């Protein structure tokens, strides 16, 4: 039995983690950590958990938690883990961080984009970027996992193979991303009120969104050189789902079959990445509630560009599901254990 | 391994059945029956099933199907099963009918409300109304299950205990019901277009909805005499979920605790019915994707009435989930096997 | 040119008032009052007003405002106007109050349901309940208008004629109401976040909603005796719209035509109340953005009850539109001036 | 009094045209043309028109219509007008075509992208592309107006000034567009059902959408040379609204102020184009129900690209509103007559 603790269990990603872990019989949640709801019944915060969880919320004392569990998930604001992490914690428990604190190797870039001082730069190098489809082997032996961001997960899985294989010019990559509103968190902000989001779509953070350097770093590893991208996220009136539509110039004339074979090479054996059939465009609804990423592409001979598309549930493969996938790897379990969820439709 | 076949597998209820059964390792779907999509890949109709189901759709030949499987689910239009049923089918396989064909014992009432001639009245008496919380023992030994309607399931579970215990006057029952749009089916009708449903709410079938006699019959068993109700369904702009708000006059002055104890008596040991805590009103979102029905009530001393509320996922407990619950009972399995689904939030 | 001021102009009802008044050439808004946004550009709060309104928000000093304008709209929390009102204000300007402060004649009932002490009971008697279809003549000569609540407007217009004509038993009235989310206001509350409201429906304030005594008082005038009702509001995932479904027992056997003729008697000449054709149920989408209330009914001979239905835009006829209708009456203008808005579909 | 006729009045664009024209006192609709609903009450098709329109639907005989009216709006499928147009019609009435039949000057391109033979190529040259902000003077004297497509209107207004002034490299233009579902029309198709669109986003027509050549032609006029673009539309779960996010490489280093001054040069005096303030991104909700297009941009010095954004109501400025704007110009009226609609929020 794996004993797990969640710091930040009352946010949307934390709640999804609880949902995924509670459906397993080999994991036990020992700690529902929270900043705002200490001592309140967890099931009163998430009424869907009524008669399922009887625990009350604990605080966010990660040191105390580390002595009680095998794995800690931190679904916390940026800076929390970097401020709290130490060797004792890491020697007691595996840490899977859903925040951005350890995703970016260059601390200066982190501090510039996140406008925050990094309090534990000494752990950055050790942290493993938890995208199993690319970093599987490194993840297995890590102590500290930097669970990827939602937009980066979908973007990287859609684009990486073509960058790595040299089919596209990395200097031309433009990512237009669309996200459901759960990505904005459960904070009571005017901008996220029902009446402000419903029947509306807008871009936000244009040119300055903090997931940009994370995507750039990962694509750089594929390109073998620094990559600079355009990244524009949009807020869409739906609860869950991320769709990315990415554009790049092809480095040479390629056929549908050639590109398809590249995707198949990378993902043919991947359980969670589905390369759709020709001309079927990814839809967020087709992956809702599951850990799948659906990808596809379209070559446009008129412009010599390729359009790469990916759809994913931002709370599952974009957060909690991927964290569980990483946990499975860390503990030597089957990677898709507890994650063979079929998307819910409609 | 239970071998199962679904007739009407390409409707929303049929698709949900497939989703629930595919997540089990003790059931195998041998037949994805369809009227409109024969020979087409099932995963091309429900793209969420891509790489999960490789089968193509079969036709709706229930006789042929009955020879291949242990259990048949018919998620078909009214009249289909009544036209096709025979002894051979019933001797080959258990039949769980998600249509209304065998829900109503009085064939005249069926024919009047459904405006259709019943072609197999000889099987009505044998059919067991598949609401396990009330008919559990009868279900276990049945050959033919009449899986309850979505509105009836939620209405009956919310109201039945108070009728049975004589706390409310059955002649005063008014049910105001609200349903998500998946209840209207997957047919391409103008009224169900996104732009017609979105940002809109309306009543429909006022006083003439076909679920009325079904609810009346079941409540009559509780009351020990014929019950006539007012029932008004509404279409709500959401995919899933039914909420019922029911009103009745109390037969005597009762306290919160007295009523609560009645609900607890009926549902204290029921896995799928959750009696919420005082003043917590049921919300459809808190049960989405699960087989739970959340119920609660409020006594109004000013009017001497009680308001009974129930929330449920219309495609799960209101259709496919309840059908699986019945299958579990028919095959001697744990009743909640494959159904310990935690509601998805948000 | 009528000079108008709005206190509470940055709430949803205040914003709608601005929208309606700005489309007229005989009214000038001189004061965009606000509590939270003083000195900020109004068009930065409501970006739809960009290049339309150049004013900044003023404070909520109603005395200063009264010296500058002919009419004051208060779209403020309960208690604000009662705390601030005085003779000087009333002698300087007409006051149309969109809060509940002067809607209820019995101050004890107000204080009990609103849990607030009434600071100006001396003005209650003078205040005229601003439902023009019922109180038209009194409104014309008033100084202080109590603009009706959203649920009460829709409920009263749907039910009043049948109570007044004695067709229904007032002791049996049950109102099941459904509202879009703008009715909950623009405050940043967790319960009103997009992800909490979307794909969800719930009842709230069961048996204790503050609009209950307002409806009861108005129906009592029709019945000629005190009326006690059951009233249950629900929150629906849409921005605008209220639908009420009301139930009552008929006092005698009546035909469709008899009831229809009663509605026609009351509303045949009313511009804003549309009695729909037989079997057409009111839909909120069909009145969105307009000042119309669509009403209809269905007799249920099985139960001897009648179902009364009404649909309305809660921000227009349920708030700002009705306030403008009252303003028109107060200033001797055509009652529908600036309000001949055709519902927006889809 | 201008006498107007609408062919295709029962589609969403036709219904919006009716809504806009009915709110004027200088226009009279003499003909509600329809293919599917001949002789049915128009208000039974669009219940929002109840008690507003008493006419029944006429057929789509444009020749007969032309003898009765001053202006004909054709909101019809591609090919209808091209098949029916003749000199008699054009000498009797102005024709404003909301279909694509006369938008593209090169008939071969039309036939290739629309997969339809053009039956009246002789009128293509005469037709004036009805984008008043660019073609105002030509429109005034035209007989036949090709009302622009929804995506093209929003795309061209957002991009044209920068192409024309040489600030961006036209070979690098990528347009990522998002549309509400009313753009898909009122046909009863499975893909447009509520449950299929809700909680979902997808790209469609990637690389092959028929609005592509229309945008290219118009931008080519600005560039002074042929322009080829990437264009990807997406379907968004909302009724109304188009948002375009366009990307291009800057031809030289420019400041915010320089680009702003270009937009101001083109749109400073335009009533319907609002250039938003710095860092305010266009939102579809802020223009809903109005004829405005909100545009803005963001320079990204890291990539030397610019992001151009535009938001618009697809049924107003993207269809019916623009058609009315063109009608105003054709008849020598104030261009914004009947169109000073304030966006509805929320």
Give the pLDDT confidence score for residue B13 in this predicted structure.
Answer: 98
The percentage of residues in chain A with a pLDDT greater than 70, rounded to a whole number, is: 100
- Nearby residues of C156 by Cβ (< 8 Å), 6 or more positions away: C131, C134, C148, C215, C218, C219
| Arithmetic mean of pLDDT, A181-207 | 97
B255-309 pLDDT tens trace: 999 999 999 999 999 999 999 999 999 999 999 999 999 999 999 999 999 999 9
Chain B environment of A269 (Cβ under 8 Å): none
Residue C42 — very low, low, confident or very high, per pLDDT cuts 50/70/90?
very high
The percentage of residues in chain D with a pLDDT greater than 70, rounded to a whole number, is: 100
DSSP reduced 3-state for C131: coil
Give the pLDDT confidence score for residue B278 in this predicted structure.
Answer: 98
Task: List, as one string, the DSSP characters of D283-335.
Answer: BGGGGTTSS-EEEEEEEETTTTEEEEEEEE-TTIIIIIHHHHHHHHHHTT--T
The percentage of residues in chain B with a pLDDT greater than 70, rounded to a whole number, is: 100
Give the pLDDT confidence score for residue C69 in this predicted structure.
Answer: 98
Structure tokens that stand for D27 in this block: 């226009």
Give the pLDDT confidence score for residue A42 in this predicted structure.
Answer: 98
| DSSP assignment letter at C65 | H
How many angstroms separate the CA atoms of A220 and B109, rounded?
70
Complex prediction ipTM: 0.97
Tracing tokens 């055709």 back to the chain, one arrives at: C342
How many angstroms separate the CA atoms of D194 and D198, rounded?
6
Active site residues of D: 150
With beta carbons less than 8 A apart as the criterion, state whether B343 and A48 touch: yes
Q: How many alpha carbons fall within 13 Å on the CB side of residue B111?
A: 10
Give the pLDDT confidence score for residue A49 in this predicted structure.
Answer: 98
Structure tokens that stand for D306 in this block: 């610019």
Structure tokens that stand for A307 in this block: 């359009």
| Arithmetic mean of pLDDT, C13-28 | 98
Residue C65 — very low, low, confident or very high, per pLDDT cuts 50/70/90?
very high
The percentage of residues in chain C with a pLDDT greater than 90, rounded to a whole number, is: 100
Residue D234 — very low, low, confident or very high, per pLDDT cuts 50/70/90?
very high
Which chains are adjacent to chain A, needing at least 3 Cβ pairs under 8 Å?
A: B, C, D
Residue D61 — very low, low, confident or very high, per pLDDT cuts 50/70/90?
very high
Chain B environment of D195 (Cβ under 8 Å): 12, 181-182, 186, 192, 239
Instruction: Give the fold, CATH level 3, of C151-314.
Output: Dihydrodipicolinate Reductase; domain 2 (3.30.360)
CATH 3.40.50.720 in chain C is located at: 2-126
Contact B46 A345 (CB under 8 A): yes
Contact D206 A240 (CB under 8 A): no
Give the pLDDT confidence score for residue D150 in this predicted structure.
Answer: 98
Chain C environment of A238 (Cβ under 8 Å): 198
Task: Indicate the average pLDDT of chain A.
Answer: 98
A150-191 pLDDT tens trace: 999 999 999 999 999 999 999 999 999 999 999 999 999 999
When CB atoms are compared, the residue of C46, C47, C346 closest to D182 is: C346
Which chains are adjacent to chain C, needing at least 3 Cβ pairs under 8 Å?
A: A, B, D
With beta carbons less than 8 A apart as the criterion, state whether A139 and A133 touch: no
Chain C environment of D46 (Cβ under 8 Å): 345
Distance of CA B153 to the CA centre of its chain: 5
Chain B environment of D196 (Cβ under 8 Å): 194
- Nearby residues of D108 by Cβ (< 8 Å), 6 or more positions away: none
Distance from CA of B82 to the nearest CA of C (A): 28
Distance of CA C341 to the CA centre of its chain: 17
Give the pLDDT confidence score for residue C238 in this predicted structure.
Answer: 98
Give the pLDDT confidence score for residue B109 in this predicted structure.
Answer: 98
How many angstroms separate the CA atoms of D95 and D89, rounded?
8
Which chains are adjacent to chain B, needing at least 3 Cβ pairs under 8 Å?
A: A, C, D
Which chain A residue has the Cα nearest residue C196?
A194
Order of all β-strands in the sheet with A273-275? A202-203, A230-235, A174-179, A242-249, A305-312, A293-300, A273-275
The percentage of residues in chain D with a pLDDT greater than 90, rounded to a whole number, is: 100
Numbered residues of chain D with Cβ closer than 8 Å to any chain C Cβ:
12, 15, 19, 22-23, 46-52, 182, 199, 239-240, 274, 276-277, 280, 283, 285-290, 294, 340-346
How many angstroms separate the CA atoms of D50 and C286, rounded?
9
Numbered residues of chain C with Cβ closer than 8 Å to any chain D Cβ:
12, 15, 19, 22-23, 46-52, 182, 199, 239-240, 274, 276-277, 280, 283, 285-290, 294, 340-346
* CATH H superfamily, domain C2-126: NAD(P)-binding Rossmann-like Domain (3.40.50.720)
Residue A302 — very low, low, confident or very high, per pLDDT cuts 50/70/90?
very high
C88-111 pLDDT tens trace: 999 999 999 999 999 999 999 999
| Arithmetic mean of pLDDT, D198-221 | 98
Chain A environment of D195 (Cβ under 8 Å): 346
Contact A288 D228 (CB under 8 A): no
Numbered residues of chain B with Cβ closer than 8 Å to any chain D Cβ:
12, 181-182, 186, 188-190, 192-199, 237-239
| Arithmetic mean of pLDDT, D250-260 | 98
Distance of CA D280 to the CA centre of its chain: 24
Residue C320 — very low, low, confident or very high, per pLDDT cuts 50/70/90?
very high
Chain D environment of B237 (Cβ under 8 Å): 194, 198
CATH 3.30.360.10 in chain C is located at: 151-314
Most C CBs within 10 A among D48, D236, D276, hence the mutation to make, goes to D48
Distance from CA of B47 to the nearest CA of A (A): 6
Task: Count CB pairs under 8 A between chains A and C.
Answer: 56
Give the pLDDT confidence score for residue B91 in this predicted structure.
Answer: 97
When CB atoms are compared, the residue of C50, C286, C344 closest to D47 is: C286
Give the pLDDT confidence score for residue B194 in this predicted structure.
Answer: 98
**Strand bridging mode B273-275 / B293-300:** parallel
Numbered residues of chain B with Cβ closer than 8 Å to any chain C Cβ:
174, 176, 178, 180, 195-196, 198-204, 206-207, 228-230, 232, 234, 236-241, 243, 245, 247, 281-285, 288, 298-300, 302-303, 305, 307, 309, 311, 346
Compute, in degrees rounded to 10, the torsion defined by CA atoms B160, B164, B167, B168: 60
Active site residues of C: 150
Give the pLDDT confidence score for residue A164 in this predicted structure.
Answer: 98
Distance from CA of B52 to the nearest CA of C (A): 27
Alpha-helical regions (H) of chain C: 12-22, 42-45, 62-66, 80-84, 87-92, 107-114, 132-140, 150-164, 194-197, 212-223, 256-267, 321-330
When CB atoms are compared, the residue of C52, C277, C346 closest to D239 is: C346
A24-55 pLDDT tens trace: 999 999 999 999 999 999 999 999 999 999 99
Active site residues of A: 150
Contact A50 B283 (CB under 8 A): no
Active site residues of B: 150
Give the pLDDT confidence score for residue C43 in this predicted structure.
Answer: 98
Chain D environment of A236 (Cβ under 8 Å): 201, 236-237
Which chain D residue has the Cα nearest residue B195?
D239
Contact A174 D239 (CB under 8 A): no
Most A CBs within 10 A among D176, D243, D249, hence the mutation to make, goes to D176
Burial class (CB within 10 angstroms; exposed 0-12, middle 13-18, buried 19+) of D257? exposed
Chain B environment of D190 (Cβ under 8 Å): 186, 188
Residue length of chain D: 346
């Amino acid at each position: 039995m794996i004993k797990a603790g969640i710091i930040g269990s009352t946010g949307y990603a934390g709640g999804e983690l609880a949902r995924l872990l509670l459906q397993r019989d080999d994991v036990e949640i020992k700690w529902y950590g929270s900043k705002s709801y200490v001592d309140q019944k967890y099931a009163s915060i998430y009424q869907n958990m009524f008669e399922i969880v009887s625990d009350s919320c604990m605080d966010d004392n990660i040191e105390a938690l580390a002595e009680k569990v095998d794995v800690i998930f931190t679904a916390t604001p940026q800076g929390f883990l970097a401020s709290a992490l130490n060797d004792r914690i890491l020697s007691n428990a595996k840490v899977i961080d859903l925040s951005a604190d350890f995703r970016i190797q260059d601390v200066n870039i982190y501090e510039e984009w996140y406008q925050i001082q990094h309090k534990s730069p000494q752990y950055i190098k050790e942290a493993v970027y938890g995208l199993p489809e690319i970093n599987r082997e490194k993840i297995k032996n890590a102590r500290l996992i930097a669970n990827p961001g939602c937009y980066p997960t979908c973007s990287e899985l859609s684009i990486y193979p073509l960058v790595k294989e040299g089919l596209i010019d990395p200097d031309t990559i433009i990512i237009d991303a669309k996200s459901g509103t759960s990505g904005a968190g459960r904070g009571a902000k005017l901008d996220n009120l029902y009446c402000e989001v419903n029947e509306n779509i807008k871009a936000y953070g244009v040119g300055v969104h903090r997931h940009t350097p994370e995507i750039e770093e990962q694509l750089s590893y594929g390109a073998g050189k620094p990559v600079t991208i355009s990244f524009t996220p949009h807020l869409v009136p739906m609860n869950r789902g991320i769709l990315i539509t990415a554009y790049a110039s092809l480095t040479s004339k390629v056929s549908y079959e050639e590109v398809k074979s590249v995707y198949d090479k990378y993902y043919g054996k991947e359980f969670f990445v589905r390369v759709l059939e020709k001309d079927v465009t990814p839809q967020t609804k087709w992956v809702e509630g599951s850990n799948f990423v659906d990808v596809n592409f379209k070559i446009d001979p008129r412009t010599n560009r390729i359009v790469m598309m990916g759809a994913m549930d931002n709370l599952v493969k974009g957060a909690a599901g991927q964290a569980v996938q990483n946990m499975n790897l860390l503990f030597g379990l089957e990677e898709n254990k507890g994650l063979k969820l079929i998307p819910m439709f409609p």
